[in-house]
A and B are shown apart, each in its own frame.
Chain A
Amino acid sequence: MLQVNDLHVTVEGKEILKGLTLTINAGEVHAIMGPNGAGKSTLSAVIAGKDGYEVTQGTVTFEGQDVLEMEIEERAQAGLLLGFQYPVEIPGVKNIYLLKSALNAQRVARGEGEMPAPEFMKLVKEKLGFMKMDASFLQRAVNEGFSGGEKKRNEILQMLVLQPKLAMLDEIDSGLDIDAMKVVADGVNSLRADERAILLVTHYQRLLDYIVPDKVHVLVDGRIVKTGDAELAKELEANGYEGIEEFVA
């Protein structure tokens, strides 16, 4: 589904990713772990098309399409969705507008036509219930005045409504208390499906107790230095990244 091959990325002249290679297949849940500054967030930002990242070498393909050549919205329309570590507050734009225009943009791009309003409302209310969010939330501005936990829930709600093929979640666990973490994890787990893949970017192993990954990659200094199964995350928890770095050296 997603192939990242020998990806080199510089930010303000400094090389952050130094030849990252990664393959994610449909049905899989991958976790990328690593110390601060390893380039975890850079990877998801480049895939989502954020400004300020220069790809100097390598390729990213999604279902055979060259991701780096696609417009930002085309990536999302193709089913590639990023959940932000720090969701942006958008004063005045109601959540209902965001959800409706995003869903319809995707559907139109796929040639499906817009979803009728009653069907849309039913869908949104069901997903809201799943995320334990009140319906009044739909009339609130996107993330404005939301607590950290509410913002993260909102990111997952968007995933549940938009049903991406590949959901990338950047530090979705940061700032969450244990109850919010469970709700968020339930949301992510409900996305697991044979035709879908999930990429978790995280610093801590704790999230992976709730969302058990098929594969864990350790990212150090711009490269994936080790890949394993869920057990690898537990080792990291016990020994820290230092052990890995020594291992690399």
Chain B
Amino acid sequence: MSNTQTFLDTLNARSQQRGAEPTWIAARRQAGAARFEAMGFPTRRDEEWKYTDVRAIAQGNFALADNADFSQAQAAALTLPLDAYRLTFVDGVFSTALSDVDALPSSVQVLPLSRALSENHEAVGGPLGRLTGVEFSPFSALNTAFMEEGVVVRIAPGTVVEKPILLQFLSRSGSPVMCHPRILVEAAGRSEATLIEHYTGEADAANFTNVVAELMLDRGAILHHYKLQEAPLGDMHVASIHVEQSRDSRYSSYNLNLGGALVRNDLISDLNGQGAETNFYGLFFGQGRQHVDNHTKVNHNAPLTFSNENYKGILDDRAHGVFNGKVYVKRDSQKIEGFQSNQNLLLSDRAHIDAKPELEIYADDVKCSHGTTTGQLDEEAIYALRTRGIDEATARGLLTLAFAGEVLEKVALDVIAERVELAVAGKLPERFNLAGLVEAAVSLND
């Protein structure tokens, strides 16, 4: 039996279980399944997947979770200590008990996708799939075929959502399951919000998450989007994020990857109106045999649009990182500015990075730059620290943290910045583990 067939069988069993659905949903599902069946899983012969082998997913046998059982205490230990509107998914299944969006103002609608689909909210059918179609990748096709859970966020014009909207995805240990969450955000004109996706779970989990996010920013809208990926080290994680930006909108992505055995993120911004700005900040830390792949793309489809990207990778042991960043400037999109930087730090001889920045420019009056560097730590700085009595291992640890710090200083939510800093410090090889020092410095700030 082919790998593809295993997934299709699971899909068919689910469809029979589910019963009749509104026509538009069934049609989408069918299109997704057909597309996935036709394409199959990508292989390394596909240019987009050249450095990432997904056989660990393709050859897996993942069931679908049928409940969201998880104790409050377990969830509390994993959750971000933040005052937020909270939606919790356990192995992809929405948990009413672990969610709290009661205090939302009427100008913000946050709806679990399961409810939107079962109540046949017509307004959802239009935008859903508009940015990420089934053609985008076999994973987006698979996601469309399976879509049941996720969230629809609609923010009314001019609304400033004071608290972050936190979507937490908890992965349980046990026999492997998969989930295909779908996130849809429609941010109306001049609205402002913070969206956090947080992936975490039980240490022994080995599940597959395949998420698709479509984020639509209308004129002047501002969206701060955090993706804190702390999935268990046995988890597979594939994410496709598409952002559509109208005139004068501003999108900032903080893509922080610490967990997962096999991780692939696709992040794409379409800058469709003058004055639109997009900021991509990324940090990935890999150890053991973790594989972390970040593909990003900025499409400057209109003149006077701005993009700024800074991705940093730290890789230890036999970890493998991939960075592929494209900046595309459409014909005659003049006066655009596009900056991209990718820096990687290899802490071990066996760690590996494939970095590929790409510029594709069809206009002449533009300011663009890109660059990628991969290296080791600055020996002169290590010397300077040692002359202060700091041993070499700690000096290397401090400089590694500093390397991550250049991305983390952009993170406005202290809870997240400090958590990631601690995680990086704690993940450093024991010989230069600095968790104690970071904790002390954090407590000094309080």
Q: State the interface size on chain B (CB cutoff 8 A).
A: 27
Contacts of B437 in A (CB 8 A): 97, 100-101
The 8 Å CB contact of A101, one of B378, B380, B390, B392, is B390
Q: Which of A76, A81, A100, A105 contacts B440 (CB 8 A)?
A: A100
Whether the pair B384, A84 counts as a contact (CB closer than 8 A) is yes
B71 at the interface (CB under 8 A from A): no
Cβ contact of B441, chosen from A77, A90, A94, cutoff 8 A: A94
Across-interface contacts of B392 in A (CB, < 8 A): 73
B394 touches A101 (CB 8 A): yes
Q: Does A109 contact B (CB under 8 A)?
A: yes
- Asked if residues A76 and B383 are in contact (CB atoms below 8 Å), the reply is no
Please indicate the chain A residues that have their CB under 8 angstroms from the CB of B384 in the complex. Answer: 84, 87-88, 90, 142
With both chains docked as a complex, state the minimum distance between the C-beta of B388 and any C-beta of chain A, in angstroms: 4
Given A73-B390, A76-B389, A81-B387, A92-B440 contact (CB < 8 Å): no
The DSSP consensus for interface residues of chain B is helix
Q: Is A42 an interface position by the 8 A CB rule? A: no
Q: Are B389 and A73 in contact (CB under 8 A)?
A: yes
B68 at the interface (CB under 8 A from A): no
Q: Does B443 contact A (CB under 8 A)?
A: yes
The interface on chain A, measured as residues whose beta carbon lies within 8 A of the other chain's beta carbons, has a size of 35
Bound CA–CA A84/B384 (angstroms): 9
Interface flag for B444 (CB, 8 Å): yes
A49 at the interface (CB under 8 A from B): yes
Cβ of A40 to closest chain B Cβ, rounded Å = 17
Best-surrounded residue of B378, B391, B437 (most CB of chain A within 10 A)? B391
The reply to whether A105 and B401 form a contact with Cβ atoms under 8 Å apart is: no
A229 and B256 alpha carbons, distance in the complex (Å): 61
- Check if A72 sits within 8 Å of B383, measured CB to CB: yes
Bound CA span A218–B378, Å: 35
Q: Is the CB of B387 within 8 A of A48?
A: yes
Q: A90–B381 Cα gap in the complex (Å)? A: 6
Question: How long is the Cα–Cα vector from A206 to B112 in the complex, in angstroms?
Answer: 74
Asked if residues B441 and A76 are in contact (CB atoms below 8 Å), the reply is no
Pick the residue among A76, A91, A96 that contacts B388 (CB under 8 A): A76
Nearest CB in chain B to that of A94: its residue: B441
What is the bound-complex CA distance between A49 and B441, given in angstroms?
Answer: 29
Residue A178 lies at the interface, judged by CB distance under 8 Å to chain B = no
Chain A residues lying within 8 Å of B164, measured Cβ to Cβ, are none
Interface string of B397-409 (1 = CB under 8 A from A): 0110111111000
Q: Are A109 and B398 in contact (CB under 8 A)?
A: no
A141 interface residue per 8 A CB criterion: yes
CA gap between A56 and B412 in the complex, in Å: 54
Q: Judge if A133 is at the interface, Cβ distance under 8 Å.
A: no
How far does the alpha carbon of A94 sit from the alpha carbon of B441 in the complex, in Å? Answer: 10
A132 at the interface (CB under 8 A from B): no
Closest 3 CB pairs of A and B: A92-B402, A76-B389, A102-B388
Q: Footprint of B on A, CB under 8 Å? A: 48-51, 71-73, 75-77, 81-82, 84, 87-88, 90-94, 96-98, 100-102, 105-106, 109, 117, 121, 141-142, 158, 162
In the assembled complex, 24 residue pairs joining A and B whose CB atoms fall closer than 8 Å, in A order, are: A48-B387, A73-B386, A73-B390, A73-B392, A75-B387, A76-B388, A76-B389, A77-B389, A81-B388, A87-B384, A90-B384, A91-B402, A91-B406, A92-B399, A92-B404, A92-B406, A93-B381, A93-B398, A93-B405, A94-B405, A96-B444, A98-B388, A117-B444, A121-B444
